[in-house]
Amino acid sequence: MEISSLNLNPKYKILVTGGAGFIGSNLCEALLKNGNSVTCLDNFATGRKQNIHHLLDNKNFTLLEGDIRELGDCNKACVGVDYVLHQAALGSVPRSINDPITSNSVNVSGFLNMLVASKDANVKRFVYAASSSTYGDSESLPKVEDKIGKPLSPYAITKYVNELYADIFSKTYGLETIGLRYFNVFGRKQDPNGAYAAVIPKFVMQLMNYEAPVINGDGSFSRDFTYIDNVIQMNVLAICNSSKNAINTVYNVAYGERTDLKELVSLLKQYLSTFDPKINTIVPTFGPSRQGDVPHSLASVEKAKKLLGYNPRYDLKSGLKEAVSWYWENLK
């Protein structure tokens, strides 16, 4: 389902925090194409100006360089806004283990600032990026929204606290909230560089450089990898839906299938070898498992389908083909 087929009428003024990041910049672009006015708030700690450079001349796009840890920046960004899509956060389980204080400051204090600013500005709805890490040590599969375990990392704690705060703000102040528990999102503009790069762009870059991908563990860990366009669809649906039953809750954002890391590398080699056959000869290596990693992740998306009309168009294979083509064209 393309964003153009979703009903965003009348057009809105939408704030995307973290709008220069991977998910945020894709949201900004899609919302502008649909005729909305978009404000991007970003401090460029992890976001990149090149992600939004092509949007700067759009009369409906406003860039605010600021930090969600500063309440004044949040208040300024929320002026006149209809909807907030809160994507700003410090991701990565390993990052949070190495530096829990900064992760908490951004993901909890910054989140609270945005809730307060949204409430005070009377925004219509606050839609925020939650995380599949909230399921923690729960071994049940598929993951269903109302059954979670104990968090396994500081990052997971911060994202769970976000859900608790959102729930309190909806009950106490009447602020409409929707949390979207993202499951391993991938796609165009996802940064392959740095110590905390996500697994798909990292593997892609290693393969394009004829390097052996390093799989953490024995390769049996599995994930519900989710293409960026499915995530865009869910954010738009979270804005569009007017049913009281659909708000003040959380949803899984995924495709609903899981793939282990060995199969992931095999697929990446297959798709990249259409551009360079030499890549298909590369053999991955195996390293230690990462602390805080959940062994298996698989989402039920039935709640989102029922209450929001979610209909994910991209499974892993179709999404990987799109992503691999983008990386080859833009980063090779």
For residue 285, is it within any domain?
no
Q: In 84-114, which positions are buried (b, 16+ CB within 10 angstroms) versus exposed (e)?
A: bbbbbbbbbbebbbeeeeebbebbbebbbbb
For residue 244, is it within any domain?
yes
For residue 223, is it within any domain?
no
How many residues comprise the chain? 332
For residue 198, is it within any domain?
no
Q: How many domains does the chain have?
A: 1
| pLDDT of amino acid 216 | 85
Residues 261-280 have pLDDT tens digits of 999 999 999 999 999 999 99
Using a cut of 0.75, tell me whether the model's pTM lies above it: yes
Q: Which amino acid is at 13?
A: K
> Which residues of 87-199 form beta strands (DSSP E)?
125-131, 177-182, 185-186
Tell me: pLDDT of 185 over 80. Answer: yes
Give catalytic status of residue 155 as yes or no.
Answer: yes
Q: How confident is the model at residue 1 (pLDDT cuts 50, 70, 90)?
A: very low
For residue 21, is it within any domain?
yes
For residue 332, is it within any domain?
no
The domain of 89 spans: 11-186+228-255+300-313
For residue 84, is it within any domain?
yes
Active-site residue, selected from the candidate residues 83, 128, 155, 160: 155
Residues 209-246 have pLDDT tens digits of 999 999 988 889 899 999 999 999 999 999 988 888 99
Q: What is the DSSP string of 208-224?
A: HTTPPPEEETTS--EE-
CATH number of domain containing 243: 3.40.50.720
Q: How confident is the model at residue 9 (pLDDT cuts 50, 70, 90)?
A: low
Residues 104-131 have pLDDT tens digits of 999 999 999 999 999 999 999 999 999 9
Residues 53-79 have pLDDT tens digits of 999 999 999 999 999 999 999 999 999
Instruction: Give the β-pairing of 37-42 and 285-287.
Output: unpaired
Instruction: Give the β-pairing of 222-223 and 259-260.
Output: antiparallel
Tell me: pLDDT of 2 over 60. Answer: no
| pLDDT of amino acid 10 | 67
**C-alpha distances out from residue 103 to 41, 94, 240, 260, Å:** 18, 11, 31, 28
Q: State the average pLDDT over residues 181-195.
A: 90
Tell me: pLDDT of 195 over 70. Answer: no
For residue 6, is it within any domain?
no
Whether the Cβ atoms of residue 229 and residue 314 lie closer than 8 Å to each other: yes
